[in-house]
Structure 1
Amino acid sequence: MPYLAMDTATGTLTVAVGEPGVLLGEATTNLKRNHSNRLMPLIDVLLDDIGIQPENLKGIIVGHGPGSYTGVRIGVATAKMMAWALNIPLLGVSSLDGLARNFLASDGIVCPMFDARRKQAYTALYERTECSFRKTLADSLLPLDRLFSAIHSRQDERRNAQKPVSVLFCGDGAQAYRQEIKEAFGDDAYFVECAALDLVRAGHLLDIGIPRLLAGEKADITGFAPEYLQLAEAEAKWLSKQTQSPEASADGRS
């Protein structure tokens, strides 16, 4: 029962094939360019190396963002096309989950950050409990001050419960805003020093998505869309111009 997973939401391009509890193969690059040209060839090579035909796939799992507008769109469009052509179920999984699961054993708070520029980040918060690794802040696009405030609140709750309050920051956003993070959290802040652990992994998307597919969860292929969390820059500029134009004001539009 092989399943295919892919993610193109960041500079990392990652694909994996696996079965329940088994990773059959995974291929990852971190070239930060040309995802559209390299995704399908990478999938073809991986399937060929494992000896699996596309027709043998039982489902497709895709990182649906948040992240780069163009990057997310490439992965989602490819996953939709393959799922429709092969008539197999499709499921979207948070790309932030695909990074955070590198740190399942962390005792403190895990904060993956994808740089959204202008001192903003696509982010979420995760914490390990006795039974699971759970998300305590949903995927969000936040300015640094609001993210830091949310983390401080979680630290206060954990401190009252006598739990570790250290925060592991990961992803390109953590590197981009390393100084601001250090100033806000001091010795409570930790960063990923191993580059291989600071990448989204499609193998983790398999771990998350396969059980959900087996439980009957799946996306409507026709209506399935990326989780952008914001308008693309070009769209935002266009809307801004519309709301500021004399014609729009005269017509009563806002």
Structure 2
Amino acid sequence: MKILAVDTSTTSCSVAVVDKDLLLAEMTIDREQTHSKHLMDMIHTVMGFSGLAVSALDGFAVTRGPGTFTGLRIGISTIKGLAVASGKPLVGISSLDALAEQCACSAYLICVLLDARKGEVYFAGYRFQNGVLKKEIDERVLPPRQAVRDINEPSLLVGNGARLYQDTLAETMGGMAFFAWPCQNTIRASTVAWLSMSRFEKTETDDVATFVPQYIRKPAAELNYKKSESVRVDFDVSLKGCGYH
């Protein structure tokens, strides 16, 4: 099964083509630029190195979130466009699941932390048992200290949130905090592709028409709109109380 996979959920951008358990080509960059500037060029480059045409692919995989709102929209809209144009299926993968998978053989509890900005992280906990990675703590967004304060066992911390808040996490967890290798903190598109395989095989694909990012936290624009609406309602009520309505 030949899959083109993309990750744009963080500042890094990764594109890969895999054929079953074989990695044909992969490219990952981390630059302070919007992913729209280079994603399509990366896809063309990786497809060229793989020696495949889009028509030869069996499907597409993409991280669905959580992550940066703009990055997710760019990656998902690009892959949806390719899926619609080619008539091939699409599978969305959790960005937290992908990072956990890159540490899957750890004997410790795997704590994935992605920077959510505003002093918070996207967080989930996993455990690798009997060759299977299981999610033990559901995805959530909260301050880093709060994310790990109830964990009382040795844990492997991975993700750009773990790197950003390393001192805070180490202070909170004491000697139970162990940090992943730097290379494990970046999501690889090949990991996204391999995680999607079982769903493609079971035909548990996503509906391309309705597939959207899963943010966990609502975008700032939506929150600001609701806040302004609340202020407007309160203002209208106050005017009525003064006899102006």
Q: Normalised by the size of structure 1, how large is the TM-score? A: 0.88
User: Please, what is the CA RMSD of the aligned residues?
Assistant: 1.8
8 A contact 1:4–1:18 mirrored in 2:
yes
**In 1, Cα distance between the equivalents of 2:32 and 2:15?**
15
Instruction: After TM superposition, give the deviation of residue 142 of structure 1 in Å.
Output: 2.1
Instruction: After TM superposition, give the deviation of residue 247 of structure 1 in Å.
Output: 5.0
Q: Which position in structure 1 is the counterpart of 2:129?
A: 129
Structure 2 counterpart of 1:205, which letter? V
Structure 2 counterpart of 1:41, which letter? D
Q: Which position in structure 1 is the counterpart of 2:10?
A: 10
Q: Which position in structure 1 is the counterpart of 2:228?
A: 241
Deviation sequence 1:88-117 (CA, Å, 0-9, x none): 101100011221212111111111111112
Instruction: After TM superposition, give the deviation of residue 195 of structure 1 in Å.
Output: 2.4
Distance 1:146 1:50, change over 3 A: same
Q: Which position in structure 2 is the counterpart of 1:84?
A: 84
8 A contact 2:159–2:184 mirrored in 1:
no
Aligned with 1:190 (options 152, 156, 178): 178
Deviation sequence 1:47-76 (CA, Å, 0-9, x none): 111110111111001001100000011111
**Stretches of structure 1 lacking an aligned partner (at least 5 in a row):** 156-164
Deviation sequence 1:160-181 (CA, Å, 0-9, x none): xxxxx21111111112211221
Q: Which position in structure 1 is the counterpart of 2:118?
A: 118
Instruction: After TM superposition, give the deviation of residue 131 of structure 1 in Å.
Output: 3.1
**Stretches of structure 2 lacking an aligned partner (at least 5 in a row):** 241-245
Distance 1:45 1:38, change over 3 A: same
Percentage of matched positions with identical amino acids: 31
Structure 2 counterpart of 1:91, which letter? V
Aligned pair count reads 239
**In 2, Cα distance between the equivalents of 1:240 and 1:28?**
38
- Secondary structure at the aligned position of 2:49 is classed as helix
